[in-house]
Amino acid sequence: MKKSGSIFKISGAVGKQIVFKQYKNRQVVTKFPDMSGIIPSAGQRKCRNLFKEAVAFAQAINNDPEKKKAYKGKTRKNQTVFNAAISEYMKMTKKAKK
């Protein structure tokens, strides 16, 4: 929770019923989106699969202490090893396609 003055701001989902969102200085409460009828396009499936591979790559690095230590030098300020690994995987894949 973020405290702004005397007002607490919350964001996120409560179960799969409602969602609290923040827009500038106002808070919005909406129902949880029903994505059960959505059919992703071929491009969306391709991007989701690529990201799934990137996450697996990052998890492998994050779970190996030696690889994680080596990656720590590649990270920018305030960037996690996990996010740096995902970023590198996405860039490697993009260059390989060219």
Domain-wise residue ranges, the chain: 7-31, 42-97
With 0-12 CB in 10 A as exposed, 13-18 as middle and 19+ as buried, what is 19? middle
Answer whether 0.75 is exceeded by the pTM.
no
- Mean pLDDT, rounded, for 8-30: 85
Calculated CA dihedral for residues 35, 40, 44, 48, nearest 10 degrees: 60
Q: Is the dihedral of CA 57, 54, 48, 31 positive or negative?
A: positive
**Which tokens go with 39?**
């059919």
User: pLDDT tier at 24 (50, 70, 90 boundaries)?
Assistant: confident
